[in-house]
Copies of this chain bind each other. A is one copy, B any other.
Amino acid sequence: MKNRKGFTLWLTGLSGAGKTTLAALLATELRARGVNVEVLDGDEFRTNLSKGLGFSKEDRDTNIRRIGYVCRLLSRNGVGTVSAAISPYRSVRDEVRRAIEREDVEFIEVFVKCPIAVLAERDVKGLYKEALAGRLKGFTGVSDPYEEPLAPDVIVETDRETVESSSSIIIRELEQRGLIPEVDLSRPRIVSSGFSRRWRSAAKSSRRVTAAGGGSSLTILKRLFLNKPIRKR
């Protein structure tokens, strides 16, 4: 495979939605097809290139611009670059898209979608509980904005799909755009499909939340997770 073009796969979604897990599986699958891949994980990037930046809108925007800059350098040199950062603000995501498309490189925005109720149930890092209790300021989706993509190129729903399904949907998109070689299905696959790793599923609790009666989803969540009445403000 020579002179194949790079691309930027831009995963956006709330904390815990599955961006890092998905990026890792995508990288494995793409490398198995001979594609050069770099994953820029939001958390890791903050350590390496954005230490000292906080979580104000300005600092978040700066962080995303930096990730976008590195994606641009890599993908214009033929590397398949996967960004796995929350990237809550639409305008900066669009700004990064424009900068990358100006290099004649494809930018594929993937909305890694999961209802906040499920995320709070998963609560991988124990942060949703803190945020819902009002003890964590600036937490995306609870005490800080998350602007959903208006027209993402791909949507994966991690509360309904297996990790493999979500990955396949994205891989298929890359194939259809001619950005990666298609796999000859008559030959043995490298990524096993015998086992399906499930996203840490919380479908049941999701249903429970839906059934919990009126009020905004945040109010319901607070009622469920904090086990105490919510004061009206």
Chain A contacts to B: CB under 8 angstroms: 2, 36, 38, 48-49, 51-52, 62, 65-66, 69-70, 73-74, 77-79
Among B52, B66, B69, B77, contact of A79 (Cβ-Cβ < 8 Å): B77
- For the complex of A and B, list the 8 residue pairs with the smallest distance between their C-beta atoms, beginning with the closest: A77-B79, A36-B77, A2-B2, A48-B69, A49-B66, A38-B73, A49-B49, A70-B70
Who on chain B is nearest to A49 by CB? B66
A17 to B22: give the CA distance in the assembly, Å.
46
Query: Do B52 and A69 touch across chains, with their CB atoms under 8 A apart?
Result: no
Cα–Cα distance between A49 and B69 once the two chains are bound (Å): 8
- Of the listed residues A36, A49, A77, the one surrounded by the most CB atoms of chain B closer than 10 A to its CB is A77
Closest Cβ–Cβ distance, residue A39 to chain B (whole Å) = 10
Minimum distance in angstroms from A104 CB to a CB of chain B: 15
CB proximity of A78 to chain B, nearest CB, Å? 7
Q: Which of B2, B38, B62 contacts A77 (CB 8 A)?
A: B38
A1 to chain B, nearest CB (A): 8
Chain B positions within 8 Å of A2 at CB level:
2
Contacts of A65 in B (CB 8 A): 48
Bound CA–CA A48/B70 (angstroms): 10
Contacts of A48 in B (CB 8 A): 65-66, 69
Given the complex of chains A and B, what is the CA–CA distance between A137 and B79 in angstroms? 41
Assembly CA distance A102 to B224 (angstroms): 49
Residue of B nearest to A45 (CB): B69
**A209 nearest CB across to chain B (Å):** 41
Question: Complex formed: what's the CA distance from A153 to B51 in Å?
Answer: 32
| CB-defined contacts of A38 to chain B, threshold 8 Å | 73, 77
A77 vs B34: C-alpha distance in the bound complex, in angstroms? Answer: 12
Provide 12 A-B residue pairs closer than 8 Å at the C-beta atoms, listed in order of the A residue: A2-B2, A36-B77, A38-B77, A48-B66, A48-B69, A49-B49, A49-B66, A70-B70, A73-B74, A74-B74, A77-B78, A78-B78
